[in-house]
Amino acid sequence: MTETSFIHRFEPAASAGSPPLLLLHGTGGDENDLLGLGKMISPGSALLSPRGRVLEHGMPRFFRRLAEGVFDEEDVRRRALELGDFVADARQRYGIAAPVAVGFSNGANIAAALLLLKPDALAGAVLLRAMVPLSNPPKAQLDVKPVLLLSGQADPIVPARNSAQLAALLSQAGASVTHKVLPAGHQLSQADVTLARDWIGRVAAEAA
């Protein structure tokens, strides 16, 4: 394995018109966690699902944190660039276009960091329960890249002002952001699945 390799699962596309998805799990998940979600929200898509390379008490994550909601930002930057290199390698290996990231919690946070640090790695993103990943982000050019941000009104981990700040940050960088606050906590709901499926369908139709 190369330095940029991740343990991962890849499932080829069943439909040529569906965008490939980069599935990024939450803390304690693995490369199998979001495969079912990926198939629900975009049944024909190729699925690329890596396992986070950082362990916190034995639980895989995509970057280190210092406390709940307090990130090791140097590690965020390094790990996001590693993930970007992995995506580039996987695109060449599997012959796929730039994927739409679908990230939950820690996975959504690394996806947001990847958008800001290496925008060309992704065609867009579905950010489920995401927070601002960097307190001093670079000036990214997201060029109307589509982003769906789904937050939970009763989320005990992500403050409402933080998710609103992330939506504003990505919008200011040029992304086309749809931000919805759902009557939910940190865990995903059926509304997340429905909204993500409809959004990806629109993104695919617009790209066709």
67 beta partners: 70
Asked if 155 is an active-site residue, the reply is yes
Catalytic residue of the set 105, 151, 163, 192: 105
Asked if 186 is an active-site residue, the reply is yes
The torsion of the CA quartet 164, 171, 43, 206, rounded to 10 degrees, works out to 150
Contact 112, 32 (CB under 8 A): no
Catalytic residue of the set 5, 85, 186, 189: 186
DSSP states along 89-149:
HHHHHHT-PPPEEEEETHHHHHHHHHHHH-GGG-SEEEEES-----SS------TT-EEEE
Catalytic residue of the set 33, 155, 163, 192: 155
Asked if 105 is an active-site residue, the reply is yes
Instruction: Please list the active-site residues.
Output: 105, 155, 186
